[in-house]
Amino acid sequence: MQEDTPAEPRTDRVAVVVNTAARTGARLLPLLEAALRPVADEVTVRAVHGGTQLLDALSAAARSEPDLLVVGGGDGTIGAAAAMVAHTPTTLGVLPLGTANDFARTLEIPTQLAAAVDTLVHGRVVDVDLGRVDGRAYLNVASVGLSVAVTQRLTPGLKRRLGRFAYPAATLAAYRSHRPFAARLELDDGTVLELRDLMQVAIGNGRHYGGGLTVAPHASIDDHLLDVYAVEQGRLLDHVSVARLLRTGHLVEHERVHHVTARRLRLVTDEPLPVNLDGEIAATTPATFEVDRNALHVVVPAGSRAARMDGTPGREGASP
């Protein structure tokens, strides 16, 4: 699909799965009904409350092979649906109902419900990449190191007690107990990086993660490349200076950060370490990461700058 000939989403057969456990899931259903019924021949709506019920509903909806699968939920829900419809004719429609909504942020899908629903009908369809870790799909970022410890400490109880302060509290606790590790990055071009005293390694498929942090200044979800950065352990002031660059992605230019791009790489650590996939600990090193090119059809707003490379070759080369 070329960006100069955008395709509108097909809405002949529409399947809708909304996670009502998400903050605004229940309020969404009347808006969807009003927007989709007039333009679709068939609309099937499944409203479920998280857990295995949610996965079962997504699986049933995907098996029905709709033209458009509309999914309302957070990045975990969207990611599960994306894995199910990858490399099929079904187009994914995203309704961001979670806390971070990083996939929607990357695609510039609005978080306002009415505008997000309008995108389903009046948006355009683009093809985007998925990341894969030993075959398992992810949307945004996979990481090893500090982020895993943060995820383990970010319990529902902590969120209830501290609200928006839960993440910095979990990060501080994880930082205090972090042990540096060594890693070997084996890139698809034959390059091998031997790195020591690391705090974190992140492998980004999309552009945003962690509630709006940026993988790298030029990261894109359709450039057919993974952006990889490794942060060295250092003094507290070093980490403060790196943290200040997380929003823009310019951390990759910091002297304590190594940054490369690759289509495929193998990550080996000095001892097996858990891998965080979009907030879920779901793999262990050593692990192979690769980009699954143009794996997913997805609806974005007509004016979205996302998937600006849709149909074009990816960025070449690696940053030092």
The domain in which residue 66 lies consists of: 13-122
Q: Which of 83, 80, 85 is nearest to 98 (CA)?
A: 80
Q: Which of 20, 36, 19, 46 is nearest to 299 (CA)?
A: 36
Same structural domain, 33 and 155:
no
- The alpha carbon torsion through 81, 46, 306, 292 (nearest 10 deg) reads 10
Q: Indicate which residue of 3, 33, 42, 280 is catalytic.
A: 280
pLDDT digit string (tens) for 253-271?
A: 999 999 999 999 999 999 9
Same structural domain, 43 and 172:
no
Q: Specify the higher pLDDT residue, 205 or 171.
A: 205
Same structural domain, 111 and 147:
no
One-letter amino acid for residue 8 of the chain: E
Q: What is the pLDDT of residue 320?
A: 36
Same structural domain, 108 and 180:
no
Domain boundary among 79, 98, 122: 122
Does 219 fall in a domain?
yes
Number of domains in the chain: 2
Q: What is the pLDDT of residue 109?
A: 96
Does 62 fall in a domain?
yes
Cβ(68)–Cβ(90) under 8 Å? yes
Q: What is the pLDDT of residue 164?
A: 61
Cβ(169)–Cβ(245) under 8 Å? no
Backbone angles phi, psi at 141, to 5 degrees: -145, 140
Domain boundary among 122, 148, 165: 122
Cβ(129)–Cβ(293) under 8 Å? yes
Q: What is the pLDDT of residue 229?
A: 96
CATH number at residue 234: 2.60.200.40
Q: What is the pLDDT of residue 2?
A: 40
pLDDT digit string (tens) for 239-254?
A: 788 888 988 999 999 9
Backbone angles phi, psi at 218, to 5 degrees: -110, 15
CATH number at residue 88: 3.40.50.10330
Confidence at 117, pLDDT banded by 50, 70, 90: very high
Find the angle CA(12)-CA(17)-CA(21) to the nearest 5 degrees: 160
Look over the chain and give the mean of its residue pLDDT values, rounded to a whole number. 88
The residue to which tokens 């109880």 are assigned: 157
Same structural domain, 117 and 143:
no
Would you call 255 a catalytic residue per the annotation? no
Same structural domain, 158 and 110:
no
How confident is the model over 302-308, as a mean pLDDT?
A: 82
Q: What is the pLDDT of residue 270?
A: 95
Same structural domain, 216 and 239:
yes
pLDDT digit string (tens) for 37-71?
A: 898 999 999 988 877 899 999 999 999 999 999 99
Q: What is the pLDDT of residue 290?
A: 98
